[in-house]
Amino acid sequence: MDVLDRFTWLKNSSFLYEGDTTVYLDPWGVPDGAQQADVILVTHAHYDHFSAEDIERVRGEHTRIATTADVAKELSGSVEIVSPGDALELAGISVDVVPAYNSAPGRQNMHPKANGWVGYVFTLEGTRIYHSGDTDAIPEMEAIDCDIAFLPIGGTYTMTAEEAVDAVHKLGPRIVVPMHYGFVAGTPKDMERFKQLVPDVTVRSFEPTNPFEQR
């Protein structure tokens, strides 16, 4: 069993990791009775990434939460406020905080660089994993060291499948997990297209626990 076998795709960019620790990434569409979180990482304030209701569903007394200042002010209790360039440790997991923003013409107002929204690079089971948040293929990706990259490929608000190829070239991961399709933008066809465009990279696709809303 490898590290990705312990991941579950909930919907859109929301993933759950269940190993020695339980980690939620942008929790949204969390089912009732879900495992309590050790760590929650939230990339930015848009509704399809930040759901206070879902966070409270899995938050426990000792849950560590990291997110941006605009999200943190909507949450009660202790929250780690992060910005691009930060590094921290949460429940024994090392986390690097990296920028996430739109650079493509026509999208720059959706996720402006000035907002300070983020992605995360964290280590699980000796594997460096990058969850990009909502972003385009930005220059800062050249400096990100990761084994596995979770990348949006649905277009409209983030990279298209074609644009995500540039991100793969910048990052050089062994494995890519496509995300941000089938719900607010994009369809499973975008994922299949992306697979065709990166034949030399392992693409690991998941079936979401919430049914696709766009096909």
Query: Cα separations (Å) of 192 from 102, 178, 196, 204?
Result: 23, 10, 7, 11
Q: Which of the four pLDDT bands, split at 50, 70 and 90, describes residue 104?
A: confident
What pLDDT was estimated at residue 179? Answer: 98
CA–CA gap between residue 210 and residue 28 (Å, rounded): 10
Q: Which of the four pLDDT bands, split at 50, 70 and 90, describes residue 108?
A: confident
Name the CATH topology of 3-203.
Metallo-beta-lactamase; Chain A (3.60.15)
Q: By C-alpha distance, which of 169, 170, 141, 155 is closest to 106?
A: 155
What are the residue ranges spanned by the domains of the chain?
Answer: 3-203
* Predicted TM-score (pTM) of this structure: 0.97
What residues are paired with 200 via a beta bridge? Answer: none
Q: Output DSSP code: residue 139.
A: G
Q: Which of the four pLDDT bands, split at 50, 70 and 90, describes residue 70?
A: very high
CA atoms within 13 A on the CB side of 141: 26
